[in-house]
A and B are shown apart, each in its own frame.
Chain A
Amino acid sequence: MALDNKTDAGKRQFKIVGTRPLRPDGVDKVTGRARFGADMSAPGMLVGAVLRSPHPHAQIRSIDTTRARALPGVHAVVTRADFPTVDDAAIADILDNCMAGDKALYDGHAVAAVAAASGAVARHALELIAVDYAPLPFVTDVDAAMKPDAPALHPSRADETVPPGLSANVMARHQFGHGDIEAGLAAADRVLERSYRTEATHQGYIEPHACLASVGPDGKADLWCCTQGQYMVRNTCAAILGMEQGSLRVTPSEIGGGFGGKTTVFLEPVALLLSKKAGRPVKMVMSRDEVFRASGPTASTSIDVRIGMTKDGRITAGFAELRYQGGAYPGSPVDMGSMSAFAPYDLEHVKTIGWDVVTNRPKQAAYRAPGAPMAAFAVESAIDELARGFGLDPLEVRLKNAAREGTRASYGPTFPAIGLEATLRAAKDHPHWSAPLGPNQGRGVACGFWFNFGGDTCVSLNITPDGTVTVSEGNPDIGGSRASMSMMAAEELGIPYEKVRTIIADTGSLGQNDVTDGSRVTFAVGLATIEAARAAKREMCKRAAQVWGIDADAVIWEDGAVRPVSPNAGKHPPMTLAEIAAIASNTGGPIAGHCEVNAEGAGVSFGTHIADTEVDPETGAVKILRYTVLQDAGKAVHPDYVEGQFQGGAVQGIGWALNEEYIYGDDGRLQNAGFLDYRIPVASDLPMIDTVILEIPNPGHPYGVRGVGETPIVPPLAAVANAVSHATGVRLTHLPISPPRLLAAIRAK
């Protein structure tokens, strides 16, 4: 039986993939019927609430919960003393972040939680908990935290990569690259040395974290929550609470945005423990203030760059030293930043050094291409400054140095077919690049890179007796993935898109699935969906051959039906999927296909962005006039949602460049824990975001698909900063480019 293999991705003619059907979950989401995290409820449900530290760093001498427990309506109170001891260091950090142990490590760190008959009673109970804090010296700035005499959060947790004599806040050192930096710099006509800073930003999903936990006296538990990974929640909670994974079933709600911020747990283990103690279901929902103070954010950074360039625009060497603080625990994404910093360029001499640093801030969570946007801001700003200094076209300079198939990447491997050059050429040809600019206006360009992942994936595809198809997958749909899976299943089976319904399964219904992250879902779940459909087709071929009394090798699947492979096999009219489904009981039983795989082979992705800005010289305000995203998608399964990823990622990056930042006061507390003062872009800040989808097929996917979700947030920080520099003649090396910061720079010119 003939089935297409992985090599035809570039040539294949698609019928459904590449079209723009309506998403299957759409009607529920425009009518208010879709159920998100906070929309779940259960009979007898209690309401949970968390008491949080007002100190950035403090010893917790004691916690007295007597009065809270005595309050009528309070059913359970928990502190860290109620949690089991955890040995695994990574899990122990997650637990400590969910509920502080001996020390509160940041403003907003959870120290106790209650479950009560109502929210009002729960909040009152929190006021009755007496915590005896001994405040400690604190540090929230990455450079300050690296000084040898800085207040230390943890005694000696540095790994073996950290040389002796540094601050105890330095957790790890990373180094990447190849060649000889000094020799490369010596060959340059100019060596630019610059230091850059970016502030911490929050993922800013509009839906706060929420969950509903129900633990029975037999230890069997159910949890409903908004998450990017129900299996991650199950496994992490089970490890924290000493449960067996099979005894905890996690059902994901619709998810109101995540962007990486919902790839870990915050409330979930606490809700489970409260429910266990209370013997009742417990619902917990974070306030926006809690979301800002105790979930997310990303790292703040301090980066030094040295780049050498010849006067004709060839980069002779690139060096960067990156310092990322990841909050109160090890694991900032400085390793990813160090690997991706120079990834778009073909460099003979390249080196990056990354330092992972802890500070008295909330534990950072992944944020869309974790670590890459800040590194790209530094490197793309420096390249732009060099290019413009030589009077060269910054786009031509990038083209001249672009990584191509066969380039040894700055992080090690040799690139297979990649699309960076295609995005640069498309940018050059785009009318945006040559459009005229007015006074106080400037244009910037920048490139970005992200790895993309595969990982553990399960899909179960069932043929119903009437010939419709259901697909169960294990990754929450954060932006239209149910539509994409239905499309790939329909494409493979040769049936209409409307005949397929895709649902997101709970943890009891499929095997392990990795989190919805790393731009993996359309790639990996798509691959598994296609494989599951192929398994079902093989079975249907067998059934039809049996009915016709011919060999299974003598039939072929084509256009949604089984046919004899040639007239020699006999004269049989095609047997459609629906006809085979109708007789499934008579031919061996129900028909299904499934695929369980660790999907390797994700292809890297590149993008180029062009930004036009206008600067008000009186106020320092920056307006985005025009913005174009050009990115390689491998194959765009549903172009609307690919464009949506491009546009949404770009706008998050614009916010990072211009407005968004965590502001800490001298007291070590977060000063702007709300959407009024932490200002994400709004509709009136923006123009339409133009998109160009390029399709350089990923050889590792049957349809050529690459992940697209993360790369779009990488270039905008530098694209906007370069445009502002072009408009004003001053170069901002510290993000965000807020009006006061830009005004001061213009006045200092």
Chain B
Amino acid sequence: MSAIHVTTTINNDATEFLCAPDETLLDVLRDRLGLTGSKEGCGSGDCGACSVMLDGRLVCACLVLGAEAEGRTVATIEGMAVGETLHPLQRKFLEHAALQCGICTPGFLIAAKALLERHPDPTEEEARYWLAGNLCRCTGYDKIIRAVLDAAAEMREAG
């Protein structure tokens, strides 16, 4: 089984890597590229801790092969803040104490960002259903939902 050479763009950086044909994008990110912000909670697409954007679409990186990144663009949690400036969602997660242990947080942030890109003004119910693919065991989701809705409001105001 020979390795596959992949050319892709990750967080706006042109990136090349070699991976095995059966290696997931999550393993490539974490083990080959040192991007350990995406987490593996289940390896079966059930927990959302590895959520990343692939060509602008929200995916579980554990369900995508590394080789599938060829010629595409990948956005991970490591690219969410710009320099010293946190994304409003990141800031609101801090302000609302929307994390306890923090293991699910990168996945929630990526998924919530995808939500707000499509629906800048989601209802609480819409936010809850959109984020139903992301598991959090610490918070009971209350503060996460509040943070997402508050970030949405702030982002709408900022236009």
Q: Are A and B in direct contact (Cβ within 8 Å)?
A: yes
Residues of A within 8 A of B (CB): 20, 22-23, 25-27, 29-36, 38-39, 120, 203-208, 254-259, 285, 287-288, 478-480, 640-641, 643-644, 647-652, 674-676, 680-686, 688-689
Which residue of the partner chain, among A31, A120, A641, A676, contacts B77 with CB atoms under 8 Å? A31
Query: B136: shortest Cβ distance to chain A, in Å?
Result: 7
The answer to whether A206 and B141 touch across the interface, beta carbons within 8 angstroms, is no
Query: B126: shortest Cβ distance to chain A, in Å?
Result: 10
Residues of B within 8 A of A (CB): 20, 30, 35-44, 46-47, 49, 76-78, 80-81, 86, 90, 93-97, 99-106, 109, 125, 127-129, 131-146
Complex: A31 Cα to B85 Cα, angstroms: 11
The answer to whether B38 and A32 touch across the interface, beta carbons within 8 angstroms, is yes
A32-B77, A34-B102, A684-B129 known; A207 vs B138 contact (CB < 8 Å): no
The answer to whether A676 and B44 touch across the interface, beta carbons within 8 angstroms, is yes
A206-B104, A287-B43 known; A689 vs B78 contact (CB < 8 Å): no
Which residue of the partner chain, among B42, B103, B131, contacts A36 with CB atoms under 8 Å? B103
The answer to whether B135 and A682 touch across the interface, beta carbons within 8 angstroms, is yes
Query: B152: shortest Cβ distance to chain A, in Å?
Result: 15
Q: Tell me which residues across on chain B come within 8 A of A259, comparing CB atoms.
A: 137
Which residue of the partner chain, among B76, B77, B133, B136, contacts A206 with CB atoms under 8 Å? B136
Query: B101: shortest Cβ distance to chain A, in Å?
Result: 5
The answer to whether A680 and B94 touch across the interface, beta carbons within 8 angstroms, is no
The answer to whether B132 and A255 touch across the interface, beta carbons within 8 angstroms, is no
Give 4 new A-B contacts, CB below 8 A, not counting A25-B102, A120-B20, A682-B132.
A23-B94, A31-B37, A32-B36, A287-B43
Which residue of the partner chain, among B46, B94, B137, contacts A205 with CB atoms under 8 Å? B137
Query: B65: shortest Cβ distance to chain A, in Å?
Result: 14
Q: Tell me which residues across on chain A come within 8 A of B42, comparing CB atoms.
A: 288, 674-675
The answer to whether B100 and A644 touch across the interface, beta carbons within 8 angstroms, is yes
The answer to whether B44 and A256 touch across the interface, beta carbons within 8 angstroms, is no
The answer to whether A683 and B100 touch across the interface, beta carbons within 8 angstroms, is no
Which residue of the partner chain, among B35, B41, B129, B139, contacts A648 with CB atoms under 8 Å? B139
The answer to whether B36 and A648 touch across the interface, beta carbons within 8 angstroms, is no
Could you list 17 examples of A-B contacts with CB < 8 Å?
Answer: A26-B94, A206-B136, A208-B41, A254-B103, A256-B41, A478-B100, A644-B139, A648-B138, A650-B140, A675-B44, A675-B47, A682-B132, A682-B141, A684-B128, A684-B131, A685-B132, A686-B141
Complex: A737 Cα to B41 Cα, angstroms: 26
Query: B59: shortest Cβ distance to chain A, in Å?
Result: 17
Q: Tell me which residues across on chain B come within 8 A of A685, comparing CB atoms.
A: 132
Query: A614: shortest Cβ distance to chain B, in Å?
Result: 15
Q: Tell me which residues across on chain B come within 8 A of A31, comparing CB atoms.
A: 37, 77-78, 80-81, 86, 90
The answer to whether B49 and A206 touch across the interface, beta carbons within 8 angstroms, is yes
Complex: A675 Cα to B135 Cα, angstroms: 9
The answer to whether B101 and A255 touch across the interface, beta carbons within 8 angstroms, is yes
The answer to whether B137 and A257 touch across the interface, beta carbons within 8 angstroms, is yes
Q: Tell me which residues across on chain B come within 8 A of A208, comparing CB atoms.
A: 40-41
Q: Tell me which residues across on chain A come within 8 A of B46, comparing CB atoms.
A: 288, 674-676
Q: Tell me which residues across on chain A come within 8 A of B80, comparing CB atoms.
A: 31-32
Q: Tell me which residues across on chain A come within 8 A of B78, comparing CB atoms.
A: 31-32
Complex: A254 Cα to B95 Cα, angstroms: 20
Query: B3: shortest Cβ distance to chain A, in Å?
Result: 12
The answer to whether A207 and B132 touch across the interface, beta carbons within 8 angstroms, is no
The answer to whether B86 and A27 touch across the interface, beta carbons within 8 angstroms, is yes
Query: A690: shortest Cβ distance to chain B, in Å?
Result: 9
The answer to whether B132 and A480 touch across the interface, beta carbons within 8 angstroms, is no
The answer to whether A30 and B36 touch across the interface, beta carbons within 8 angstroms, is no
Which residue of the partner chain, among A33, A203, A648, contacts B37 with CB atoms under 8 Å? A33
Q: Tell me which residues across on chain A come within 8 A of B41, comparing CB atoms.
A: 206-208, 256, 288, 675
Q: Tell me which residues across on chain A come within 8 A of B101, comparing CB atoms.
A: 205-207, 254-258, 478-479
A32-B77, A259-B137, A647-B143 known; A683 vs B131 contact (CB < 8 Å): yes
Q: Tell me which residues across on chain A come within 8 A of B128, comparing CB atoms.
A: 683-684, 686
Complex: A205 Cα to B94 Cα, angstroms: 21
Query: B39: shortest Cβ distance to chain A, in Å?
Result: 7
Query: A369: shortest Cβ distance to chain B, in Å?
Result: 16
Q: Tell me which residues across on chain B come within 8 A of A287, comparing CB atoms.
A: 43
Query: B100: shortest Cβ distance to chain A, in Å?
Result: 4
Q: Tell me which residues across on chain B come within 8 A of A676, comparing CB atoms.
A: 44, 46
Complex: A259 Cα to B95 Cα, angstroms: 24
